[in-house]
Structure 1
């Protein structure tokens, strides 16, 4: 079972409420005592479209034994909602969460067993999505304090809209043994903002550290990620992290940058890590209907310590043009096809041209025989730091081809 990242929704909402007028301290009536005891009906659930006005009434009933006078009614809204107009008799301010609120004097006395009605009216903003409205009074009729009960209620709303969480990657180049800085970005392209008060499925960014590198500096908002959840506090050295906003809110159009410092391993080759816009549990958020931009990459271009870069390998260079692990001279292959061995006598159609990961593109191989008898594994060098060491093949004589002396280079690999 997942451990929630935040307290229960009611407790969080209560902590976020800012009351402009202090609550009165009139005691609630207990059994055998005279006093008011107000309760309020519930609002119907709705999914307003952005720009749409929600306008409903609630009933305030006095179940106590004394009249409730000067009843104060509060409406508090999340930041994706607002009031379409200001009403006379109401004082407007903001909650601690930054949303609008109104404290309204109903100018009514509610006698025992009597009821009055009042309106709850608000509008969904263009960025509305996961929202809430808090409404009510206290049992005595004073302005409500923290917490929710039958006199002070809270309604969660999901607006008829979506959000588009997307990942943005980065790239850097560095030497083996050096460090690079990469920034993983989570962005909400809108139109809706995300402030999930009802679930712990908060927006997040999964970051997979590129293979062959180690995270040596990690943002404080990023925790190591286990099988399906964060596993502990932020610390370096883990292969995967999940990052999320400290206040667990991401506004429409907002970008959240998470910068990592990575140390490149001495045997590393060009490498890539994946980042994914998701929830903090690695799941896709239901409000995000566009999956096409959920994934991006952190690319590290590693400079070869032997003086070449990318897919080239040391020990395979001759005149004519590099082919990434072998070379061509005048159209004939000499020194290896970039496949871990070499071929002789094969005719080519052109010289050089870098090829990824040591694969020759200089021409089509002929019927040359493999000169890598000691290299039975074949294939390109693994990206773990294996190196090629050229040896001159000894022979009783040298072959003269087109007036030139061709030496067959045998490239030996260490076992990985």
Structure 2
């Protein structure tokens, strides 16, 4: 089975953005005063690389809680770390780094103080930097950042994608973790997340397992394993028992993501009890060069499987000037499930509107579809591209209902095609039975013109069923409503017209970043916040 290579970059960027912004919000929530007062936030711990890598910094953000603040002043006091760290920023005087932001809008603001360890500083030396500020004449709650000389820098290996995994088989994930930093990680959590078409072949006592019931998320099951094996600088470790994954009968395009997190750089006062059944880490040679080594990765697993999408149209009878409803029904006959969160080519339905009728109401998940890209209004277009549910599991059915008004000169019988295809054009690569990918909308018009017409997927003429088309999606706000099943998008305009390649995933991460605006900038500069 020939499968188009799935591009992981967008999903990786989105995961990083969610992790970063999620951490920022979690940190800040303790200072939100019941969720209403503006507050300062930052990475609570910062490690300074030895030798310096130019990335040491104290990054801060101000969440304005959606309001406009006047006369904002923020100061980062680094006198508490001045004995072992220094800064080259010219806005820092005598250890006080001042930020005068003036008026700040609803998206907040942020800033960065670059710091590095002094040449004579000893590994493990630590101190605190304190962030304070005022806004609109009120004092903001201070935020303290612990700064340490040295850093734990955990990196992982990458695994080459699989294009022909057999449903029902078991795969082995050769996962490692290495420390390219200068401090030892005494305890570590390792997070493994898998998409719905995979399952863990074995579970371990020292791992917590969480199954996400939200079908809109690709991370169906998450295992967080707690390791007490010290991860020393310059060394690499592998799992004591290889991580094995079962490929389900519903598998199609699947993902395993993995990322370690340092939980302490010193031995805990109370050691965690372990057993021989625990998953642990064992030495596996030297750490790779730090340059280019990822801190988290994803393994793309494509199954040699198919999903049969079946489409049926609808018939209606209406006189000229009256309205009719037409419902397209799409079902997945399996065996594979389709998940657009794990594959770039999203599932869509190209809906043609019968000639001689005009749409007066369309589902929120549908946008006009035009060959030339000149744009069409949301209502009255000859054809639409509709997003189908993001998780289209085997056995799932979705209905999309259109309302049309019959024109005065409508023919006695008029019809058009509705076709399941990729949302950006092209046939479904995983569907080997194309015969049932297309259904028909038919409107019978009593007293209509004598000539009957069969439009091709919204085309105005011809009588042949079309092959899946390519075109341009045009978004426009119509206020129209429709009927969708499952978790279809609730508004029009959810896809860009520039093609796939993870555009939707990047857009979601971008929206999250815009929500914090300038505040998120504080975290954007650093590759990582070292523990």
TM-score normalised per structure 2: 0.51
2:225 equivalent to 1:104: yes
- Corresponding residue number in structure 2 for 1:209: 353
For 1:262-273, what aligned pairs fall within 5 Å after superposition?
Answer: 262-269=404-411, 270-273=413-416
The match for 1:122 is 245
Aligned match for 2:170, one of 29, 42, 53? 53
User: What CA distance in whole angstroms lies between the structure 1 residues aligned with 2:431 and 2:320?
Assistant: 39
Q: Which residue number corresponds to residue 89 of structure 1? A: 206
Distance 1:94 1:204 in 2: 28
**Corresponding residue for residue 292 of structure 1:** 435
Contact 1:228 1:281 in 2 (8 A): no
Is contact 2:348-2:423 (8 Å) kept?
yes
For the residue of structure 2 that corresponds to 1:137, the secondary structure is strand
Distance 1:184 1:161 in 2: 26
Deviations 1:108-155 (A, max 9, x none): 00111122111332211221101111012137779xxxxx97121112
The correspondence of residues 9-408 of structure 1 with structure 2, limited to 5 A, is 9-14=11-16, 26-32=45-51, 33-46=149-162, 47-95=164-212, 97=217, 99-118=220-239, 119-138=242-261, 150-197=294-341, 200-227=344-371, 235-245=378-388, 248-269=390-411, 270-304=413-447
Are 1:53 and 1:84, in contact at CA under 8 Å, matched by a contact in 2? yes
When structure 1 is superposed on structure 2, of 11-20 and 115-124 the one drifting more is 11-20
Is the 1:217–1:261 Cα contact (8 Å) retained in structure 2?
yes
Measured in 2, the distance between the counterparts of 1:101 and 1:94 equals 6
More helix by share: 2
Q: Distance in 1 between matches of 2:157 and 2:16?
A: 19
> Closer, same or farther in 2 for the Cα pair 1:10/1:174, shift >3 Å?
same
> What RMSD in Å do the two structures reach over aligned CA positions?
3.3
Quickly say closer, same or farther: Cα 1:134–1:141, change in 2 above 3 A: farther
CA gap 1:78/1:67 in 2 versus in 1, 3 angstroms: same
Kindly tell me: are residues 231 and 154 of structure 1, through their superposed partners in 2, closer, same or farther at Cα, counting changes over 3 Å?
farther
**Are the equivalent residues in 1 in contact too, given 2:187–2:226 (CA < 8 A)?**
yes
Matched, 1:8 2:152: no
Structure 1 unaligned regions, length at least 5? 1-6, 143-147, 313-355, 358-381, 383-416
Secondary structure of 1:164's match?
A: strand
Partner of 1:379: none
Quick one: distance in 1 between partners of 2:223 and 2:343?
26
The answer to whether the Cα contact below 8 Å between 1:49 and 1:159 also exists between their aligned partners in 2 is: yes
Q: More strand per residue: 1 or 2?
A: 2
Is the 8 Å Cα contact of residues 75 and 120 (structure 1) preserved in structure 2?
Answer: no
Tell whether the 8 Å contact from 2:202 to 2:244 is kept in structure 1 after alignment.
no
Question: Are the aligned partners of 1:229 and 1:280 in contact in 2 as well (CA < 8 Å)?
Answer: no
1:403 alignment partner in structure 2: none
Deviations 1:89-119 (A, max 9, x none): 1001135625001000122001111221113
Alpha-carbon shift at residue 241 of structure 1 (Å): 0.3
Distance change (3 Å), C-alpha of 1:150 and 1:11? closer
- The secondary structure found in structure 1 opposite 2:12 is helix
TM-score (norm 1): 0.64
1:282 deviates by: 2.7
Take 1:173 and 1:278, find their aligned partners in 2: how far apart are those partners? 28
